Chains A and B, each alone.
Chain A
Amino acid sequence: MTRTTLDLWVGIFVVAGFAALTVLALKVGNLSTYNTSETYQLQAYFSNIGGLKSQASIKSSGVLIGRVSQISLDSERFEAKVTMLIDKRYQFPKDTFANILTSGLLGEQYIGLMPGGDEKFLKAGDEIKKTQSAMVLEDLIGKFLYSKAEDSN
């Protein structure tokens, strides 16, 4: 085999390998939904985050607008502090409501943002004051049983 055909084959191999990596990144993975440079940061405190994980999606009206970047426990307020990265294209009023929701009955948990009516918008580093914690199945069942018991009384 002469050197030129050998080079050709190695070239095909390397190009195919990198093409495979690109397919993995764009088609299989979620790189296409990253927009690292154009995000701003918001915080929110929840009394219970349920099964929320970092990299979970943040949606508004069902549209993906950002991702959870960090979750930690605030040791002064004893609440979960969730840091979010929101796409710069989307601005939200100050009184926006953050909800931890579940996609489907057993699906992943995500944060849903419901815009309020305030004239001022949230800036980078601001805190979303109005939050609602995750629905925990045990609590729901507990409430259900409690109300049933009340009904029968």
Chain B
Amino acid sequence: MIIENLRSIGHRIVNAVWRIGYASRFFMLILLYSGVSFRRFHLIIKEIFSSGVMSLIIILVAGLFVGMVLGLQGYETLKRYGAESALGSLVALSLVRELGPVLAALLFASRAGSAMTAEIGLMKATDQISAMALMAINPIARLVAPRFWAGVISVPLLAALFSVMGVFGGYLVGVVLIGVDQGSFWSQMQSGVDFRYDIVNGMIKSAVFGVVVTVIALFEGYVAPPTAEGVSGATTRTVVQSSLAILFLDFILTAFMFQGE
């Protein structure tokens, strides 16, 4: 019994390592065959539409509400120390450093990543990928690489939009509703947020998340068993794995980027 359990644990570990290796090779292949995507840029544009543009509404609405909540909660806490004027700085820093990149990537993973997995998985299940390979067209170059680059381009832009909507939401609640002084809201924000340190690092974060989410989504679709259960399992795995990967990498990147001076 124990040996059997151990064996099944070992098998799962070996399997996980095998998948990581295969996914890394898949990532390398995407980079290797990216030339076609850039020579025919309309392929990427089409995918930016279906992943980036289609995620716009959820990103904008979520950003607005997150910013409003930050404004409300931040105000309640800062009021105790008589530091309401720091509200702008608090809202902007939270959004630009953490919430913008992380939440935009999480929303992108569940909105566009799962769709990518399902699309690629179904294409495989209906022989479209084999058909393409037998037409002497590399499916990774033609199908996978444009989606990858579309994701890598879209996620940082979505994160920036998320942050701006969040700042606007914080402004709405803090300044318009509660009545924090407008001048100190903006000036505290500007003196608190550093362009290179906070904004550029936030953008680097979200670019990394974009790479990770799209690679996971495309890989899961590409290796999904060609059945209905296979594809539905793969979309679930995409959302779970990319969410965990985003949060884990966020910790690692934060530790690297925002260590004290």
Judging by beta carbons under 8 Å apart, are B96 and A28 in contact? Answer: yes
B195-209 at interface with A (beta carbon < 8 Å): 195, 197-199, 203
Tell me, yes or no, whether B37 is within 8 Å of chain A by CB.
Answer: no
Chain B nearest CB from A79 CB (Å) reads 18
Assembly CA distance A21 to B159 (angstroms):
9
- With contacts A13-B52, A20-B163 taken as known, whether A28 is within 8 angstroms of B45 at the C-beta atoms is no
Tell me, yes or no, whether B212 is within 8 Å of chain A by CB.
Answer: no
Write the chain B residue with the least CB distance to A14. B157
Interface size on B, residues (CB 8 A): 34
**B residues in contact with A33, CB < 8 Å:** 190
Tell me, yes or no, whether A136 is within 8 Å of chain B by CB.
Answer: no
Tell me, yes or no, whether A145 is within 8 Å of chain B by CB.
Answer: no
Tell me, yes or no, whether B83 is within 8 Å of chain A by CB.
Answer: yes
Chain B nearest CB from A4 CB (Å) reads 11
**B residues in contact with A106, CB < 8 Å:** 81, 83
Of the residues A12, A29, A108, contact of B199 by C-beta under 8 Å:
A29
Write the chain A residue with the least CB distance to B150. A10
**A residues in contact with B153, CB < 8 Å:** 14
Judging by beta carbons under 8 Å apart, are A13 and B45 in contact? Answer: no
Judging by beta carbons under 8 Å apart, are B190 and A28 in contact? Answer: yes
Q: Label chain B's interface by main secondary structure.
A: helix
**A residues in contact with B190, CB < 8 Å:** 27-30, 32-33
Tell me, yes or no, whether B25 is within 8 Å of chain A by CB.
Answer: no
Judging by beta carbons under 8 Å apart, are B45 and A20 in contact? Answer: no
Tell me, yes or no, whether B46 is within 8 Å of chain A by CB.
Answer: yes
**A residues in contact with B203, CB < 8 Å:** 21
| Pair count A-B, CB < 8 A | 88
Of the residues A17, A28, A71, contact of B158 by C-beta under 8 Å:
A17
Q: Which of A53-61, A90-98, A112-120 makes up part of the contact surface?
A: A53-61
**A residues in contact with B49, CB < 8 Å:** 6, 9-10, 13
Chain A nearest CB from B49 CB (Å) reads 5
Of the residues B42, B52, B167, contact of A3 by C-beta under 8 Å:
B42
Tell me, yes or no, whether B53 is within 8 Å of chain A by CB.
Answer: yes
Tell me, yes or no, whether B4 is within 8 Å of chain A by CB.
Answer: no
A-B contact pairs, 15 of them (CB 8 A): A10-B52, A14-B48, A14-B153, A17-B156, A21-B199, A24-B163, A27-B186, A28-B96, A28-B189, A28-B193, A53-B261, A54-B261, A55-B194, A55-B197, A108-B191
Given A16-B56, A28-B92, 7 extra CB contacts under 8 A: A6-B49, A9-B53, A14-B157, A17-B157, A20-B161, A27-B186, A28-B167
Residues of B within 8 A of A (CB): 42, 45-46, 48-49, 52-53, 56, 81, 83, 92, 96, 153-154, 156-158, 160-161, 163-164, 167, 186, 189-191, 193-195, 197-199, 203, 261
The 4 closest A-B pairs by CB, nearest first: A17-B157, A20-B160, A31-B195, A29-B195
